[in-house]
Copies of this chain bind each other. A is one copy, B any other.
Amino acid sequence: TQGYYSKYNFHGLSSWPQIQFVEDKQEFSRFPTKAGRRSLSRSISQSSTDSYSSAASYTDSSDDETSPRDKIQVNSKGTNDFCVKNIKHAEFGRREIEIAEQDMSALISLRKRAQGEKPLAGAKIVGCTHITAQTAVLIETLVALGAQCRWTACNIYSTQNEVAAALSEIGVAVFAWKGESEDDFWWCINKCINMEGWQPNMILDDGGDLTHWVYKKYPNGFKKIRGIVEESVTGVHRWLYQLSKAGKLCVPAMNVNDSVTKQKFDNLYCCRESILDGLKRTTDVMFGGKQVVVCGYGEVGKGCTAALKAMGSIVYVTEIDPICSLQACMDGFRVVKLNEVIRQVDIIITCTGNKNVVTRDQLDRMKNGSIVCNMGHSNTEIDVASLRTPELTWERVRSQVDHVIWPDGKRVILLAEGRLLNLSCSTVPTFVLSITATTQALALIELYNAPEGRYKQDVYLLPKKMDEYVASLHLPTFDAHLTELSDEQAKYLGLNKNGPFKPNYYRYTFPC
């Protein structure tokens, strides 16, 4: 297979059918195929940017520069079907996994409930995700439920090497390390799939690279896949739906990105906390009394405004949509045009998904010492490019913090160069990753066990009932006790006592 790999032409990717990439630049990865995937960005931050990783990794100080591909390693059981940085760091990685398990009790609980039945017995899963302690808890859950797993990384920087070692030590075939080259990346994917006498029947993907590879390189193998579970916006919307539309998706796929539970945690609940965290870690700004304008009052904007209001900031909102505007009014925020407040605000936060929401002209009018940052979809919301002109001086004062200095000495503090603040400057709680991982596990179980015909060759959302099940697995964390319907009540409401409790179109609202 090594030979096969060498024939791979990276640039050939751009000739893939049906896939149009939008103009957003990928934030952390060199690969255009990973453009704009929010969940990826979130996850990566945990392993690559926080202070924890330095404590939790030998890697930084490692003087071992040999490529893992050139090393010969065996684990303590004598097997060598893996390729990681250093198998000897397995013990350290094991501890990381154990710590992660503490906040992922939903998965542990799923293990316990389902391991008798082994619902994944016979499943041969290839996975391509970030390889972190949280992912390891997922993989070990899949194994406990009966699956065989082979795994690779969906991002060249995000692998926690010690965790990869710990997985390899217990026999999971992992091919991944931190700091892969492009060539390494595809080599690892290929190693993951291509094993003598082993034919994968399930795919768990985050970004679509693995799926794409199998589709292109192993078209026969692709047809034998029973289901694909895809995590990312990109993988779902720019790849699976396109493939489906073109009639070329011969496998049922599940879009776990858009499940209710995951969405709410990724956006409203997570941002409510990370806006404070991201601003504090970078600028130590005091929130009390600060005038802040939040551009966009979708879920991210709602989370940000609620948190800042609670901390004593005076918050303005800009919106294009009158319904969201009316909500902002009712929630106690003045709805303004950015130009009305640009000279007075201390902080601008963009959460729109739009581009050039903050322009150079507006940045010119901001106060000395004001802060500009982005919590929205991509790095285009603030017109950062417009600030790269000769008359402005950029001064990097901390990691992720630039002072842009005007000729008159005015400084505007730009965070993360306009990329996602919560991606770059704060972390994602393990609990949120637990929601995602549990959703992935259930989607795999559902697709693998679904009776013939339930799923066609199409892209599906997670059934409401499974969304509810993910939620219910996380309730014990909060010691929350569900009320059960009596037979009489269930009949009165026309519901099954075990759910689903809402129709699929039901709109959950999330006050904060």
Say whether A320 contacts B288, CB under 8 Å.
no
Stretch at the interface among A180-188, A201-209, A484-492: A484-492
- Give bound CA distance, A206 to B482, whole Å: 37
Return the contact of A493 from the options B288, B323, B337, B353 (Cβ within 8 A): B353
Say whether B323 contacts A398, CB under 8 Å.
no
Say whether A481 contacts B286, CB under 8 Å.
no
Say whether B479 contacts A291, CB under 8 Å.
yes
Is A164 an interface residue when CB atoms closer than 8 A count as contact?
no
Q: Which A462-512 residues sit within 8 Å CB-CB of chain B?
A: 467-469, 471-472, 474-475, 477-486, 488-489, 492-493, 499, 501-502, 505, 507-512
Is A309 an interface residue when CB atoms closer than 8 A count as contact?
yes
Say whether A489 contacts B302, CB under 8 Å.
no
Shortest CB distance A312–B (Å): 4
Is A40 an interface residue when CB atoms closer than 8 A count as contact?
no
- Give bound CA distance, A368 to B327, whole Å: 24
- Give bound CA distance, A326 to B262, whole Å: 12
- Give bound CA distance, A312 to B398, whole Å: 31
Say whether B326 contacts A312, CB under 8 Å.
no
Say whether A397 contacts B99, CB under 8 Å.
yes
Is A356 an interface residue when CB atoms closer than 8 A count as contact?
yes
Given the known interface contacts A399-B51, A480-B335, A509-B509, the answer about A501 and B321 at a Cβ–Cβ threshold of 8 Å is yes
Is A264 an interface residue when CB atoms closer than 8 A count as contact?
yes
Shortest CB distance A278–B (Å): 10
Is A17 an interface residue when CB atoms closer than 8 A count as contact?
no
Is A246 an interface residue when CB atoms closer than 8 A count as contact?
no
Say whether A50 contacts B327, CB under 8 Å.
no
Q: Which A196-252 residues sit within 8 Å CB-CB of chain B?
A: none
Say whether B284 contacts A336, CB under 8 Å.
no
Interface of A is mostly: mixed
Say whether B467 contacts A323, CB under 8 Å.
yes
- Give bound CA distance, A212 to B452, whole Å: 47
Is A338 an interface residue when CB atoms closer than 8 A count as contact?
yes
Say whether A325 contacts B493, CB under 8 Å.
no
Give the residue name and chain of the B residue nearest to A428 (CB): B284
Interface residues of A (CB under 8 A from B): 46, 50-52, 55-56, 99, 102-103, 260-261, 264, 268-270, 272-273, 276-277, 280-281, 284-289, 291, 298-299, 302-303, 306-307, 309-314, 318-338, 340, 344, 353-357, 368-369, 396-399, 403, 411, 426-432, 467-469, 471-472, 474-475, 477-486, 488-489, 492-493, 499, 501-502, 505, 507-512
Given contacts A311-B332, A330-B512, 14 further A-B contacts (CB under 8 A): A46-B284, A56-B397, A260-B323, A302-B511, A314-B333, A319-B482, A326-B480, A327-B510, A334-B478, A334-B480, A337-B482, A355-B488, A356-B486, A512-B512
